[in-house]
Structure 1
Amino acid sequence: MEHDNPLDTVYEVNAKLDYEVDDRRIVTILRKQDHWIQRFARKLKLRIPAYRRTTMDDYASFVFLSIDGKRSVQDIGEVLAAQYGEQANPLFERLLVFLNHIEKSERFIVKKAVPHG
């Protein structure tokens, strides 16, 4: 069921996603490079890393680590505003674009199923 208000949406991190968090709370996404061409290139002793690493910036890491399957987009926006103040503006426009990107394009997060009732 789609939400009428996107600020009520609750996301959770995709269970299949591998990531690391460093001591500064910066998130690095790990994507396994397991295509047959990559495996073949490794057999030829070419230096193809097993994982592609994508490191998020402070803002993206903060948002990503705020996604817990309980907080709504509204809730995440509020903690983001408390952390970053005016730097986060335009707050919800930026937040919604980012969440849409990491859900639809990257598949880092998924919408949490809302129980009917």
Structure 2
Amino acid sequence: MRSKDQRNYMDFVPVKNPDIEYQTGEDGIVTVFIEWKGFYHRIAQKFFHRPRVSEVKLDNYGSFVWLSIDDMRDVHQLSNILDAQFPGMEKSLSRLIKFLEILRDNHLIHWKGEKWN
């Protein structure tokens, strides 16, 4: 019998990857710069003219969350400040968790106490 997944996202603390560069525009929108390294990425750059560095612009919510990650706030605290900043947002907690999982899957953050891949 499989055991239930015991993860409680509310207690997780996101930590930004120190290798990821980003900049904040005058409008408060964050642009994250992702450098593509490795053998297969070099092939794609050479033969398919893929860029070496991708620029990913976050929306208002994503920019606010990205700038709120300070390596000390857990998901519950981030959820509270997100709700305070954007009170009309629907399903804010599920959207926040999904956004953080996307960041984690793309190696932009990891959970505190977790080792980098």
Q: Give TM-score, length-normalised by structure 2.
A: 0.77
CA distance in 2, matches of 1:92, 1:40: 41
The one of 8, 13, 38 equivalent to 1:10 is 13
| Bigger-Rg structure (1/2) | 1
Which secondary structure state, in structure 1, belongs to the residue aligned with residue 84 of structure 2? helix
Structure 1 residues 6-85: aligned runs within 5 Å: 6-34=9-37, 35-37=41-43, 40=46, 49-85=51-87
Cα displacement string for residues 87-113 of structure 1 (whole angstroms, at most 9, x for unaligned residues):
2x212111111111111x211111112
Q: Quickly say closer, same or farther: Cα 1:4–1:25, change in 2 above 3 A.
A: same
Unaligned stretches of 5+ in structure 1?
42-46
* One-letter amino acid matched to 1:16: D
Q: Give TM-score, length-normalised by structure 1.
A: 0.77
Q: Percent of counterpart pairs with the same letter?
A: 29
RMSD, aligned α-carbons: 2.5
Q: Quickly say closer, same or farther: Cα 1:98–1:40, change in 2 above 3 A.
A: closer
Unaligned stretches of 5+ in structure 2?
none
Q: Which runs of 4+ in 1 moved over 4 A?
A: 38-41, 47-50
